[in-house]
Amino acid sequence: MFASRAGAYLALFVSFLLTFLNLVDGVKHENFKTCDQSGFCTRNRGYADKAAASGSSWTSPYQLDSKTVSVRNGQLTGVIIKTIENGSGTVRLPLVISFLDSGVARVTVDEEKRQKGEIELRHGSPARKERYNGVQDWVIVGGLTLDQNIAERTTDQDETIVSYGPKKSFQAVIKHAPFSIDFRRDEETQIKFNSKGWLSMEHWRPKVDREQKEGEPAPPESTEDESTWWEESFGGNTDTKPKGPESVGLDITFPGYEHVYGIPEHAGPLSLKQTRGSSGQYDQPYRLYNSDVFEYEMDTPMTLYGAIPLMQAHRKDSTVGVFWLNAAETWIDIVKSKTSSNPLSLGIGGTTDTQTHWFSESGLLDVFVFLGPTPKNIIQDYSELTGYSQLPQHFALGYHQCRWNYVTDEDVKDVDRKFDKAKIPYDVIWLDIEYTEGKKYFTWDKDNFPDPLGMQKHLDSHGRKLVIIVDPHIKNEGNYPVVDALKSQNLGINNKENNIFEGWCWPGSSYWIDAFNPAALAWWKSLFAYSNFPGTTPNTFLWNDMNEPSVFNGPETTMPKDNLHFGNWEHRDVHNVNGLTFVNATYEALLARDDPKHQRRPFVLTRSFYAGSQRQGAMWTGDNLASWDHLEASIPMILNQNIAGFSFSGADVGGFFGNPSKELQTRWFQAGAFYPFFRAHAHIDSRRREPYLEASGYVEPITQALRLRYSLLPAWYTSFHTAHTTGEPVMRPMWYVHPSDEAGFALDDQFYVGDTGLLVKPVLKEGVTSVDIYLPPTSNAPYYDYFTFETYTGSGKTVHLDAPLQGHTPVLMQGGHILPRKERPRKSSALMKFDPYTLVIALDNAGRAEGELYIDDGESFEYQKGAYIHRRFRFSSSSSADDNNKENNFSLVSDDLHPAPTKQTTSFLKTMKDVRVEKIVVVGALKAWEGKTEVVVTEDGEKERKVALQWNGGGRGKAAWAVVRDPGVRVGRGWRIAF
């Protein structure tokens, strides 16, 4: 018996492995649900359809009981009464609307009976009875201070109107019966809740046994379709649903807004499509249910590995947004229609309304509302709530070389040497699952990696780092202390019977750490202590994969929803935040392994993520394909991550599955050099494709792309610092930077890097050797080709640039910006630390430009104590603008942006005292400088010096430029250079 069962398991496992080892083609649709295969999705869509079909005769059965409404200390509380269909009773739903100091409003609805635990669960389930209310503990880290100055009035139409936000310019108009909320800014309605009447909270009810018992009268037939209430089967697994139906749904309308963005992760355009089947649109809602969807398809609303339920709606000069805080499976329908003649919408610029319909399987209704008006306002408020992008260690912005797998420690050293021989820079080499002994994490395969420390010493000698993979599944095998501890201390995720859940992943039979459990977190931390994980060093960093979690034999390749986590919450309730909790444990573990006095910023790459994951490290877009459409899709996907607060994102360069052609590989490096997270990765069955292996004619442009990345590292690091302190994305789409320019709202194949003014348009199609870049109507700034200084004047037009394969990604510099870079090619970023800087100044038409530079030690948390340099460079004229004849009135000044220097600032400055600016290049140089040979340099506390200026006339469409070589000014000091 045992033998045959083991045999069956083995067969099953081999078939899963074959699937995952890419012996099949394309995504397995049958593994993932469509809306009609998901009970609550079908029910919520059906409810919306019924309401829509009833037209004006539809009344939402939810009413705010006016007697219960009270407004105090920045919060409105009350009870919404739901009338059950057919008038068979009512349900009490406590409502809290919080008005936050930031101007954000938060609407939370719970269910009294479940809240009080006055329900019965089926099958004797030990699960919690409440709607899950713990997701905020993982996600929200600030910004919840209540606004004590709100003003409230109740009208005679049974409406409560709350004025809040900046200068009380925001209003929440809360209609009691039926319950709805209109959010207004400056008297205009921007966002409407339940205006369509699709609000739905599936209340708890006992299951009525509809089977007729012998000798008893037939029980009444249900008037509703209960077929998906109590049990649902998919892919051979039955979800026992002990809590019955519990979904929450709401229609959210953005009147006058044609574009909506966000809700990653999906492989589709940045401006989200409609989902109810009109021509050229999707017929499925966007789905958020973190899943291991390898070989995913392009242009679908199908779910992927991570979820950030933040949506921004945008029209000319106005951006608003909602954040749906719920970690259960979620779907979002989007429908656009011509603006209604609703008088409350009058004055709104746009002619299209976007109606969205959100529904989650369980949990609270908990929605944050952002009224903008700028994209920057939204991302700042959202980041205040969920945290800012981590400031990565500096090395992490360099190039990462990964493949499944580097097979021995000698292999690693060999690759490392070959990079050096080819003079190609890189910072990190990665080890996938094969470095372990039999997929047991916290071990090394002793045959192939006999000397991990020696290997890392080798890397260390030129400033390189190692990343190793550790996944959340723990191999179920004897003599493995990690699994013994997991089991004996009950640190794993349990099945519905509350026994440890066993499933299949890379190691075969496995258990999963329950990172929701504080005891599991403490244990996980201990595992990474250098003494417990020999072979690791302070330069060993981490990759957390498969954390959706991926369970090869589970429904939809993940865990059964009735599994149980710490605190007896069902997996259903927490699924989308599961990956975040695991990365949290690893992040904490990396902190814990260091001496508290010398902690370094952890680096963890995650595949699964949720809102808040941006605090913990980087993400990548999972198992893409070595195909042109995947290269193309990577840009909108990464842009979407960036506007959803998660800047540190990238896609596998080269494509994970398959073998890229030489051309694709080259184009992918050229594009990837502009991903915030820049890593090449390849499947175990693919050919070796380290850059130095490329044929002549290809290796050169790839090397150029890598060097370009390295020379721009000061600008990248400064942009990450901006993201870390303001939430503003590192990679920015056109609509974000130019919110008034409608022609850019749907563009997602060109983008800016931070505040640098660099406008990038990679080649993403086969055989293409030129690009058309759209230039927005910015009146006062030309764009200069980054490489040739060719000048383009933008005004809502498209310009054509050559982009031969043997060249580089087209990049323009927008006039008005100053860009810091470093020009000496080195093996790794660590070796560039004290290299001098070059400042590239791209002048606008008035001869002005501005830019920033942020520098710290690149690894520790000392910057939080002030150990950094933050300068603003300003190039301007003291005389009237546009006057090319005035000489000597232009100057470049370096100002200190440090708000309050500390003793740590002083000691950091000491370490940087010899780091200078070695070159200044002024692009768009003034004609008046022709014949000029010197500039006057004054550094704080030093004598005036004269330094040579070299003027170049440009011509034939090229801007004139001027170069100051070795002005000798120090990067940490204040100075002025008069031109």
3-state secondary structure 188-223: EEEEEECCCCCCEECCCCCCCCCCCCCCCCCCCCCC
Q: Closest CB to ligand NOJ among 22 and 719?
A: 22
- Footprint of ligand NOJ on 433-452 (CB under 6 A): 433
Given 196, 276, 336, 607, the residue binding ligand NOJ (CB under 6 A): 607
Structure tokens given for 611:
């809102």
The answer to whether 360 and 328 have CB atoms below 8 angstroms apart is: yes
Of the pair 681, 709, the CB lying nearest ligand NOJ is at: 681
Residue among 548 and 844 whose Cβ is closer to ligand NOJ? 548
Identity of the residue, 160 or 510, whose beta carbon is nearer to ligand NOJ in the bound complex:
510
Q: Least Å distance between CB 840 and ligand NOJ?
A: 36
Binding mask 662-681 for ligand NOJ (x = CB under 6 A): -------------------x
Query: How many binding residues for ligand NOJ (CB under 6 A)?
Result: 10
Per DSSP, 32 falls in state S
Beta-bridge mates of residue 542:
468, 604
Q: Closest approach of Cβ 305 to ligand NOJ, in Å?
A: 8
**In terms of Cα–Cα distance, which of 372, 384, 370, 357 is closest to 139?**
384
Burial class (CB in 10 A: 0-12, 13-18, 19+), 650: buried
Is 514 or 545 the residue whose CB approaches ligand NOJ more closely?
A: 545
Looking at beta carbons, which residue is closest to ligand NOJ? 404
Query: What is the per-residue DSSP string for 469-491?
Result: E--SEEE--TT-HHHHHHHHTT-
User: What does each C-alpha distance from 790 to 362, 772, 842, 914 come to in angstroms?
Assistant: 57, 15, 12, 35
Per-residue x/- mask for ligand NOJ, residues 460 to 479, rule CB under 6 A? ---------x----------
Query: If binding is defined by CB under 6 A, does position 353 make contact with ligand NOJ?
Result: no
Rounded-to-integer distance, Cα 665 and Cα 548, Å? 29
Both tokens of residue 50?
């019924």
Catalytic pick among 548, 588, 741, 785: 548
Measured distance CA(824)–CA(830) in Å, rounded = 13
The contact pattern for ligand NOJ, residues 631-660, with x = CB under 6 A and - = no contact, is -------------------------x----
User: Which CB sits closer to ligand NOJ, 63 or 621?
Assistant: 621
Residues 820 and 872: their CA atoms lie apart, in Å, by 11
Contact set for ligand NOJ, span 377-406 (CB under 6 A): 404
- Cα separation, 403 vs 435, in Å, equals 12
Supply the Cα-derived Rg of the chain in whole angstroms.
Answer: 29
Tell me the closest approach of the beta carbon of residue 506 to ligand NOJ, in angstroms: 7
Query: Does residue number 623 form part of the binding site for ligand NOJ (CB under 6 A)?
Result: yes
The single residue of 361, 409, 623, 741 carrying the catalytic annotation is 623
- Residue closer to ligand NOJ by CB (options 607, 630) is 607
CB of 680 to ligand NOJ, least distance (A): 11
Residue 17 found at the interface with ligand NOJ (CB under 6 A):
no
Residue 545 a catalytic site member? yes
Task: Find the shortest distance in angstroms from Cβ 270 to ligand NOJ.
Answer: 23
432 contributes a contact to ligand NOJ by CB under 6 A: yes
Does 622 engage in binding with ligand NOJ (CB under 6 A)?
yes
Q: Which residue lies nearer to ligand NOJ by CB, 507 or 794?
A: 507
Is 623 known to be catalytic? yes
414 annotated active-site: no
In contact, 866 and 904? CB cutoff 8 Å: yes
- Alpha-carbon dihedral angle through residues 386, 387, 388, 390, given to the nearest 10 degrees: -120
List the catalytic residue out of 545, 562, 694, 918.
Answer: 545
Residues of span 270-299 touching ligand NOJ by CB under 6 A = none
Angle at 448 between CA 444 and CA 449, to 5 degrees: 45
Do the beta carbons of residue 641 and residue 635 sit within 8 Å?
no
8-state DSSP, 440? B
- Our CB check for ligand NOJ shows the closer of 13 and 404 to be 404
Of 206, 306, 183, the closest CA to residue 252 belongs to 183
Dist CA 938 CA 967 (whole Å) = 10
Whether 750 and 798 have beta carbons less than 8 Å apart is answered as: no
Q: Which of residues 537-566 bind ligand NOJ (CB under 6 A)?
A: 545
- The 8-class DSSP code of residue 779 comes to T
Which residues of the shown chain bind ligand NOJ in the complex (CB under 6 A)?
404, 432-433, 469, 545, 607, 622-623, 656, 681
The catalytic residue positions are 545, 548, 623
